[in-house]
Structure 1
Amino acid sequence: MPRGNTRTTLFVPPTPPYAVSGSGPYVLDQRGHRVIDCNNNYTALIHGHAFAPVEKAVAEQLPHGTAFGLPTETEVQLAELLASRTGLPMWRFSNSGTEAVMTAVRAARAATGRELLVRFEGSYHGTSDAVVAANAPGVPEAVAGTSLALPQGDAEALREVMRTRGDEVAAVLIDIMPNRAGLVPAAAEFVTLVRELTRQHGALMIVDEVITFRIAEGGLHREYGIEPDLMTVGKVIGGGFPVGGLGGTAEVMAIFDPLRELGVSWGGTFSANPMSMIAGRVALEHFTAEAIERLNSLGDQLRSGLTEAGIAVSGRGSLTRIREDVDLPRLWWALYGEGVLAGTNGLLALSTPMTDDHVHTVTTAVVTAVRGLRGGNQ
């Protein structure tokens, strides 16, 4: 494997440690070094590692089969749970957040008969050609031309595009708190404007909640009081197993009706496999409104402690991003040495096994690491 691993997002030079095991909020690497996991597989492991209820449910399913050439009741159960939480009545499943976004974009283009996708610079929506930077290696110019990236939160730029090209726009794709763009929550006025302009011009609004779904029981968009046409999810809805999900209105999701003439045909060998569906349902059933409130409170406590110590951070709820002007690989290693596993961009994602003591330890580690990289001047 180039540089020794599969996922670019996990690489830190010269080479990352290798995980051996995980339990609750901890990960143990091949050298025997134990860390508090504030990466949680890039926010996916909402209950940390080896969550007993998920382990039990998955173990009970194993003797009965892991994947079939038929649908199973498990996907219906997870779809019903997501519908009850989000208010979006129709759902389909895939194997990753990337694939969920791919499905949403295809659906929007098919439903509207238009090609142009409007998105925002710096937001990460997976690795498909339609949603990466136009100059990304390997993206054909013809494909890049079907997507338009606007500055984050730029209302005037959005108005101008919709005024001049609104009849070409299939959808506006938005992450309300984009991690790679700084993990700063979008202004409510801007999110409302996206909803108003898409409706005005007959385009769809796609909200990407692959990361932010953990912030509220039905996703972060519900805190903004908006109703998207399509919503993508992943990570926490898989209970530690591969998953992606697309929810939407009945009108838009009808484009996937297999009996519909010129409908969208979308398969996936392991999509909606019972292992992911069962693990996801059990994980969400234990991620109650009370659990969400408690975990978000721990996130507030973390940001408050770091801010008081003079560390620049952003985020909301159980997600925090370190915003210091320091070398990120050096920050990653410094944190790792202090016993904290973070994202390679300074992302800290909490999990339900964590306590006040864990947050205190993480806070101390971040302060120590950042001050050390500043040269010990603060």
Structure 2
Amino acid sequence: MPIRTPAPQQASLTEISKGLFERACIVIPDGVNRATVDRDPFPDYVGWGRGAYLYDVDGSKYLDLNNNFTTLIHGHTFEPVIEVARRVLKDGSCFSNPTLHEINLAELLCERIPAVEQVRFVNTGTEAVMFAIKAARAATGRPAIAKIEGAYHGAYDWAEVGQAGTPDTWGAPEAPITVPNYAGQPRSVTDDVILLRFNDAAAARRRIAANHQRLACILIDPVPSRAGLLAPDDSFLAAIVETARQYGILVIADEVLNLRQGYQGASARFGLNPDLICMGKIIGGGFPIGAVGGTKTAMAVFGGSGGPPLLPQAGTFSANPISMVAGLASMTAMTIEQFDRLERLGDHLRARLRQVIAKYEAPFSVTGSASLFRLHPKPYAPREYRDAYLSKSEAETMRLLGRHFKKHGIILPFAAAASLSTAMGDTEIELIIQTFEHALAYEELTL
């Protein structure tokens, strides 16, 4: 029986979005405030979101697989978050003094995540990574960090190094080059970063050992998203932890995105035992947030015990009550049952996508776990960044696929993780599968 393909949306006029972008370009460099905003050739301006869907100012409705870069685990306008944020906002949005709300959210995170005994809240995932690296430096007295080639960790100088290498710049496999992330990035920064290739356990041991005297930490996303949404090998994670412990180097797990891997987070899921964990996105319920958590020993640098701390940390909006209560409402609603349900949806989706690929013998593969997935225009799923890197023709294929999904009412992130939300169900999963099959069946992609 032929599949029931989704009818394409009636092509909407985009004059409102186009006009807004033209206005924005006058007062905002490049017209946007985030380099990650998709423009083809200009962004669609959002009017509102409801549940699993968003609506743009031109009147189009889309299933949202971006969810503000995986932040909205409950989709848009989640009622428990709206209710508590509205109630608390009436009492004040921010104070210089602490509130009960920050204790409540900290207690939830410490209860759930095995490696987290204490927490400090900041405003963004970038800040969480920045202060975790600073904490490792303060604890060890060493300046350098090791990180995974191609992995994204926000906008802190040292964390950015090596995230945008290309075949022309990334160097030999046994010695990845610390490619600067922007023009003028100081050489003193790149000199203090050691790049490791994901899932290469033997090379990781060698490079960590060779640089151990100056390494403060190893920064690792257990499932590097921007680098391909890669699955970790047990042997690789073991090599990272064992070698770090041997030389007194701290292990930092960046779970800003991947905390949604399960009720206890990504490290617990994949058997990584870090000293510090960086958190963000889903723990804020759709409001700005970041957090550094870890063992009491690792977190001790933030405390002064009556004197100045080894690492001062502050922020005007850190632990603001709106983010705290919204995060608590969102995380409280993310029960074990809800995580399990999302994982079942994700498993079903990934399996069906692979079936479609096999049916048409298409040069695609699928990566991801739990509520995350990513399509690659490659016949074999990548295991590290260099495998996942898109050639010019592959990037064009993914651009065509994104346009096809958009035509059929779905926002598919370009070269990034797509995410499910608790607002989705079987109807949305079938829409994704049918839309992908329609693209392959009617050869709408340049393959």
Do these two structures clear the TM 0.5 threshold for a shared fold by scoring above it?
yes
Partners of 2:340 and 2:79 in 1: CA distance: 21
Q: What residue identity is the alignment partner of 1:96? A: T
Partners of 1:164 and 1:373 in 2: CA distance: 50
Q: What residue identity is the alignment partner of 1:173? A: L
Q: Show the counterpart of 2:206.
A: 160
Partners of 1:6 and 1:332 in 2: CA distance: 22
Match 2:224 to one of 159, 175, 178: 178
- Structure 2 residues without counterparts, runs of 5 or longer: 1-27, 162-178, 358-363, 378-393
Partners of 1:226 and 1:156 in 2: CA distance: 17
Q: Show the counterpart of 1:271.
A: 318
Change (3 A) 1:346 1:363: farther
TM-score scaled to structure 2, two decimals?
0.81
The Cα shift of 1:193 comes to 1.5
Change (3 A) 1:14 1:66: same
Q: What residue identity is the alignment partner of 2:312? A: S
The Cα shift of 1:209 comes to 0.6
Partners of 1:170 and 1:106 in 2: CA distance: 9
Q: What residue identity is the alignment partner of 2:201? A: A
Corresponding position: 1:243 with 2:271: no
The Cα shift of 1:343 comes to 1.5
Q: Show the counterpart of 1:315.
A: 368
Q: Kindly report which structure 2 residues correspond to 1:355-366, keeping only aligned pairs within 5 A, or say none.
A: 355-366=425-436
The Cα shift of 1:215 comes to 1.2
Root mean square deviation of aligned Cα: 1.5
SS, match of residue 280 in structure 1:
helix
Indicate if the aligned counterparts of 1:177 and 1:184 stay in contact, CA closer than 8 A: yes
The Cα shift of 1:329 comes to 3.1
Change (3 A) 1:360 1:132: same
The Cα shift of 1:369 comes to 3.8
Tell me how many residue pairs correspond in the alignment: 376
Corresponding position: 1:300 with 2:311: no
Indicate if the aligned counterparts of 2:302 and 2:309 stay in contact, CA closer than 8 A: no
SS, match of residue 64 in structure 1:
coil
Partners of 2:180 and 2:444 in 1: CA distance: 33
Q: Show the counterpart of 1:132.
A: 160
My pick for the range that moved more, 358-367 or 239-248, is 358-367
Q: Kindly report which structure 2 residues correspond to 1:96-245, keeping only aligned pairs within 5 A, or say none.
A: 96-133=124-161, 134-137=179-182, 138-245=184-291
Q: Show the counterpart of 2:303.
A: 257
SS, match of residue 273 in structure 2:
coil
The Cα shift of 1:146 comes to 1.2
Structure number with bigger Rg: 2
Q: Show the counterpart of 1:49.
A: 76
My pick for the range that moved more, 262-271 or 284-293, is 262-271
Q: Show the counterpart of 2:399.
A: 329
TM-score scaled to structure 1, two decimals?
0.96
Q: Show the counterpart of 2:117.
A: 89
- Structure 1 residues without counterparts, runs of 5 or longer: none
Q: What residue identity is the alignment partner of 2:64? A: D
The Cα shift of 1:160 comes to 1.2
Q: What residue identity is the alignment partner of 1:5? A: V
SS, match of residue 207 in structure 1:
strand
The Cα shift of 1:373 comes to 4.2
Deviations 1:20-39 (A, max 9, x none): 00000000001111000110
Q: Show the counterpart of 2:48.
A: 21
Q: What residue identity is the alignment partner of 2:435? A: A
The Cα shift of 1:362 comes to 1.2
